[in-house]
Structure 1
């Protein structure tokens, strides 16, 4: 099977054999203007926990519901149109091609195709470690195990261990890649940190802030902006693309946040989608 090597947010990137140019300013501050809520329960669901979110180029939205062990497909109006069950607790998701995603499930990565607005499970990769965070960049699959960040090929072959920290549990949880692939972002939620790594895994910066407690999710927008989700601080923060300083506090408990687990930018609707712990509704914040 052939896989496309491409970047998330392709509309923001020009790619040739000579140069890679990102359009837009990755440090442009996002401003919020209004909020909507959408129920994402499927029939027979218990209370949802939306651990991760992915927006496809078509505007379709996928949400990972770990409480119900399934992946859900939403249309552009955030209405549930399809869902599929997975074998264990589902955690994180990343886009591989415009119609294919990967989801971490226990010690496996489940490949899922989107066909005619339906989710179709395809092959699996099995690993010798638990799989939590996942990201993809130009043929490389990045996986976190809770204490390590690994680089694999799409056939499951290990390329390298990029980062390891066994000082605590879940020191390497969520991961994301800058659009140009020169920086890797990982969250260490028991120590309230965001780490920014170089391509070889060396640490470039460590970000901490009083408004960031238990950072579960890090997300890179199609313009290269870096968003952080603090579950216990009940915050969504924007940090600079170097991962060294806070640019803005985008949302807090006053804006309806209650234990946010996931954050994702939707360029189709110019909005920020937030998933929460033990909550049936996603929050959609309109961007000015």
Structure 2
């Protein structure tokens, strides 16, 4: 244990002998020679450790928290790899079905051509059929399955790197955690252990922030913006918010039956009337959104700060919520969740609950498409589903009353707001626990109906449906 603590993490054959206060780094003689020759405060370790004390109790708590998050991050990366594998197998099944259709079609063609062939002349057509099927299988294996396996390996490779980084950082910090009780009373070793722990925790925090969706937002400011237009006949109830990559924001105004484009300063610069009350909205491309309007999906494009309607998808049921991921549309009917293609073809029914109204009110999808989230309004629940609709988790909380707003950030963080509880919460990507209450009625969140995160402006935008703070959105600056 002492040997491990005294070993330089950069130059593995060297022992730590110095401490650079300028860079707050432990150094071996090679470190000093290469990187710290110009530093003014490089002192021998015994001298640096003299009189220094560390609150190891607080440090131990920090380490335990970081270790827990690293383990969760490892599980998250492994789940993503499994999800890709499942997706590949589903796709492989479709390819195999296609091959089966091709073979059946080929056999029918051969059968037709041999109907009038006499018995003694059938040997040649049968040999030809066998060769044809063999060629179909060979082409299939070479061009399709091999290609998809290579694609799967390419997609899984960076996830394996992240998973392995989690394991390495966890391993290093765990051994430091074990070492701390054994070095108490040994000033020099205690000093080294504390510095190594702090450095490892810092590295882990940076890694988690960049690669794990359970990074918790911190609110550091807010502003309120009125989005009412002179032509509006009713109070603005903002049922959906979409943040565009250029910093502009789209809001759906339910009772005025409008979609409004806001500038980067959150002023209305353009609007478009829709046929009925808009219930939800999702981003399709950086310049196109899909709007849930009663029993249809209206696509709207944004160009030079102007809105224009494009195509529509007519549905056989209501559309209360909508989300998009990698060419797939997920649509809520109020009691069921369906998966569609962008062209409007129904792919599958994923989940349903007819025990009450608004059990499948709105939906969102993780960036990798491996988790689906839905909110059940009257049951006060956030549900987490697998890609195929299997229920993975059900979350309830007194702070989540009547959930209406739901959003997943590009990094996978889950935001949900309670219309009745007057709250905006951040929930873990597993959908099992609350990470933070980001805002309440004390912060001006009155009957929040929609929520969205803008990575361009590092802000959370909340659409309100309230008679006190009317016609407004609240913007929280976060980090």
TM-score by length of structure 1 reads 0.92
In the TM superposition, residue 281 of structure 1 has moved relative to its aligned partner by 1.1
Contact 1:25 1:223 in 2 (8 A): yes
What is the alpha-carbon distance in structure 1 between the residues aligned to residue 459 and residue 345 of structure 2? 36
Q: Which residue of 1 aligns with 2:289?
A: 101
* 3-state SS in 1 of match to 2:211: coil
Cα offset, 1:58, TM superposition? 1.3
Q: Distance in 2 between matches of 1:51 and 1:104?
A: 10
Shift of 1:25: 2.0
For the residue of structure 2 that corresponds to 1:59, the secondary structure is coil
Q: Does structure 1 residue 200 correspond to structure 2 residue 388?
A: yes
2:474 alignment counterpart: 283
* Alpha-carbon shift at residue 212 of structure 1 (Å): 0.5
CA distance in 2, matches of 1:31, 1:25: 16
Task: Name the one with the larger strand percent.
Answer: 1
Rg: which structure is higher? 2
Measure, in 2, the Cα distance between the counterparts of 1:100 and 1:253: 33
Q: Distance in 2 between matches of 1:156 and 1:267?
A: 29
Counterpart of 1:229 in 2: which secondary structure?
Answer: strand
Return 271-280 or 164-173, whichever deviates more. Answer: 271-280
Residue 245 of structure 1 corresponds to 433
Structure 2: runs of 5 or more not aligned: 1-149, 160-209
- Structure 1 residues without counterparts, runs of 5 or longer: 1-15
Secondary structure of 1:19's counterpart equals helix
Contact kept? 1:226, 1:240, Cα under 8 Å: yes
Match of 2:370 among 159, 182, 192: 182
Equivalent residue in structure 2 for 1:83, among 271, 287, 297? 271
Instruction: State the match for 2:231 in structure 1.
Output: 44
User: What's 1:31 paired with?
Assistant: 218
Equivalent residue number for residue 156 of structure 1: 344
CA distance in 1, matches of 2:215, 2:225: 28
Q: Do the aligned residues in 2 keep the contact of 1:103 with 1:109 (CA within 8 Å)?
A: yes
Residue 126 of structure 1, aligned match among 291, 307, 314: 314
- Contact 1:175/1:217, CA 8 A, preserved across alignment: no
C-alpha distance in 2 between matches for 1:208 and 1:281: 28
In terms of fraction of residues, the more helix-rich structure is 2
Aligned residues: 273
Within 5 Å, give how 1:224-235 maps onto structure 2: 224-235=412-423
1:254 aligned counterpart, secondary structure: helix
Please give the per-residue CA displacement for 1:192-220, whole angstroms capped at 9, x wherever unaligned: 00000000000000000110000112101
CA RMSD, Structure 1 to Structure 2 (Å): 1.3
Give 3-state SS (helix, strand or coil) of 2:442's partner.
Answer: helix
Name 1:112's counterpart in structure 2: 300
State the Cα deviation string for residues 99-124 of structure 1 (Å, max 9, x = none): 11100001010000111110000111
Q: Please list every run of at least 4 consecutive aligned residues from structure 1 whose deviation after the TM superposition is greater than 4 angstroms.
A: 20-23
Which residue in the other structure is 2:139 paired with?
Answer: none
- What SS does structure 2 have at the residue aligned with 1:213? coil
SS at match of 2:307: strand
Q: Does 2:453 correspond to 1:262? A: no
Give, in whole Å, the separation in 1 of the partners of 2:360 and 2:270. 31
Structure with higher RCO (Cα < 8 A, 6+ apart): 1
Q: How far apart, CA to CA, are the structure 2 residues paired with 1:142 and 1:193? A: 19
